[in-house]
Amino acid sequence: MAITSTNPNDVEQAYGYNMIKLANSVASPNRHVLQIYDDSDTLIGDLRQLPNSNVITHYNINRLLQSQVSMTPTHGNLDLFTCPNECFNYYFKVGTITTADVVVIDATYSGSNTDINRLMALPGKKGINDDGSTDWGAYEEYVPEITVGYNGTNYYITTDTYAKAVTDRHYDETTWGAITDGKPAAGDGDFVAGTPIYKIRIAEDQDYSLQFINRWLDASGQYYNGINYIRLQTYTDNTLVSDVFIDNTTVNGGGPDTTISDEIIPKNEYAMIGANIGFQHSDITSAITHYYVWASSQATDAYITDDDVRTSQVYRFDITDGECNDYDNPIAVRWLNSVGGVDYFDFRKKNEVKSTVNRNTYQSTNGGWADVNFRVYPYERGETIYNQSINEIHTADTRYLTDDESTYLRNLYESPDVQVKFFGETVWKPVVLTSNSWTGKTFRKDKLFQHSITFRLANKPIAQGGWTTLI
């Protein structure tokens, strides 16, 4: 009988149990075979095992997926960015090995629709449910569902469910109808009174990005190119300052489309698109008070300029001046979040640095033994340094936080990849967290926690390695 498989989700988090179950309907001593292939049809895993007493084998492929995905993406000042190994596309084959050592493949699994090579892994993490089963995560939260219809000569789409950005970020939820200052017009994104708006506070000069899964599902379960634009609207109070459509093309840092009219199904590095929507974007300036960001798809196959349908939730960023007792040298921190994207926070209170130098020495004897006369010069060394290293331990503190903000920062402490950018610098530097703590306060309503982290640079400062005695 043929081997059957229980598929993983179309999108999987690489960290956590990623179980594939193979089953045979009749008892058989034959070994089961699981072969994993990447998007270029290269075999990257060949797993073989005898079935258990129920004629079933279980394979946890999490280590294999983890070896194929990268951590926090790095990006420059382009409007959009991708990361080569942030997403990984794969498919697998199942079968048996006969007593004559012949591999017989019974089926190929590549997801829930007919387009091959579209299983995808992200560097996120999963948990375990109370009943012991794997918590696969809410994939549908990050990929919109679209209804595709037909209208004369052009296809048209409507959004059934809107996608969230790939973030753990704490936000205050409001509605489009409840906002009384500047906001998008109703026709900009099918806004109605109850449309949710996710509000995030951002300080002046802060870098920030949002990432979105770059595809959508139609009613038949078929994947399509998901993002044609990232839309950015900026406001000063009630006045619209700019309404920017950032084309998701390779020249803007996105892709895989080279022109907006392309219809290439995104895979691998293009399966997730990040948008630089902090102060590294030219339209985000201290002259505005707030701005909105969302992802959109083309409304028709005519690809009319700025013709779009909103496919993601809407994120509003309120620019704040900080608090009067903020320090002038904030430390920006970003990290790999639990769902495989990037999150940010600025530590704007007292920041300290402590440097320690470790020196290794040996004892040498002064004097020239080979000379006619023995002399000891005062400028020659006895104890000599042959190696030294420098450790910088930084301490950073937050303002007082709400419960939700405090919970959000705990994802920072659990992250395997943390980077910082010091005030006045332009480069993100990897760090290792050495400790973290938070203190509860009871005298401020809804602002109960202040967090403190200590970290050291993952790449130690360069130190001179010592020298030998000059003669």
The three-state DSSP-derived secondary structure of the chain is CCCEEECCCCEEEEECCCEEEEECCCCCCCEEEEEEEECCCCEEEEEEECCCCCCEEEEECHHHHHCCCCCCCCCCCCCEECCCCCCEEEEEEEEEECCCCCEEEEEEECCCCCCCCCEEEEEEECEECCCCCEECCCHHHCCCEEEEEEECCEEEEEEEECECCCCCCCCEEEEHHHCCCCCCCHHHCCCCCCCEEEEEEEECCCCCEEEEECEEECCCCCEEECCCEEEEEEEECCEEEEEEEEECCHHHCCCCCCCCCCCCCCCHHHHEEEEECCCCCCCCCCCCCEEEEEEEEECECCCCCCCEEECECEEEEEEECCCCCCCCCCEEEEEECCCCCEEEEEECCCCEEEEEEEEEEEECCCCCCCCCCCCCCCCCCCEEEEEEEEEEEEEEEEEEECHHHHHHHHHHHCCCCEEEECCCCCCCEEEEEEEEEEEECCCCCCCCEEEEEEEEECCCCCCCCCCCCCC
309 and 301 in contact (C-beta within 8 Å)?
no
Per-residue pLDDT at 440: 61
What pLDDT is recorded for position 471?
40
Q: Check if the beta carbon of residue 233 is closer than 8 Å to that of residue 243.
A: yes
Q: Residue 339's closest CA among 89, 117, 120?
A: 120
pLDDT for residue 157: 74
Q: How far apart are CA 232 and CA 393, in angstroms?
A: 39
What is the per-residue pLDDT for 458? 85
pTM of the predicted structure, to 2 decimals: 0.84
CA dihedral 409, 411, 413, 419 (to 10 degrees): -90
pLDDT for position 414: 86
Cβ atoms < 10 Å from Cβ of 76: 9
- Domains in the chain: ranges and CATH: 4-75+88-128 (2.60.40.1930), 141-320 (no CATH), 322-471 (2.30.110)
Q: What's residue 10's pLDDT?
A: 75
Q: What is the pLDDT along the chain (471 residues), one digit of tens a residue?
A: 467 776 677 777 888 788 888 888 766 668 899 999 988 889 999 999 988 888 889 998 989 988 888 766 666 778 999 988 888 888 999 998 887 888 989 888 886 654 555 788 888 887 666 766 556 555 668 888 887 765 555 566 788 889 999 999 989 999 999 999 999 999 898 899 999 999 999 988 888 999 999 887 776 666 666 788 999 999 999 999 999 999 999 999 998 989 887 878 888 889 899 999 999 899 999 899 999 999 998 766 655 655 678 999 999 999 987 655 566 678 899 999 988 889 999 888 877 777 778 788 887 776 667 777 777 777 777 777 777 778 888 888 888 788 888 888 888 988 888 999 988 888 889 999 888 766 665 555 555 677 888 888 888 777 776 554 444
Q: How far apart are CA 131 and CA 42, in angstroms?
A: 37
| Nearest C-alpha neighbor of 23 from the set 32, 15, 14 | 32
Using CB atoms within 10 A of its CB, is residue 436 exposed (0-12), middle (13-18) or buried (19+)?
Answer: middle
Residues 6+ apart with CB under 8 A from 324: none
Sign of the dihedral through C-alpha 252, 256, 258, 259: negative
145 CB-contact burial (10 Å; exposed 0-12 / middle 13-18 / buried 19+): middle
**For residues 28 and 49, is the Cβ–Cβ distance under 8 A?**
no
pLDDT confidence of residue 136: 52
pLDDT of residue 53: 85
The residues facing 153 across adjacent strands are none
d(CA 191, CA 207): 28
Residue 384: HSE in the Cβ half-sphere, 13 Å Cα cutoff: 15
Instruction: Say how many CA atoms lie within 13 Å of 376 toward its Cβ.
Output: 5
Q: Are strands 119-125 and 11-15 parallel, antiparallel or unpaired?
A: parallel
The reported pLDDT for the residue numbered 160 is 85
Could you identify the residue written with the tokens 């309404």? 243
d(CA 325, CA 330): 12
Closest by CA position to 231, among listed 173, 277, 271: 277
Residue 470: per-residue pLDDT:
43
* DSSP bridge partners of 135: 127
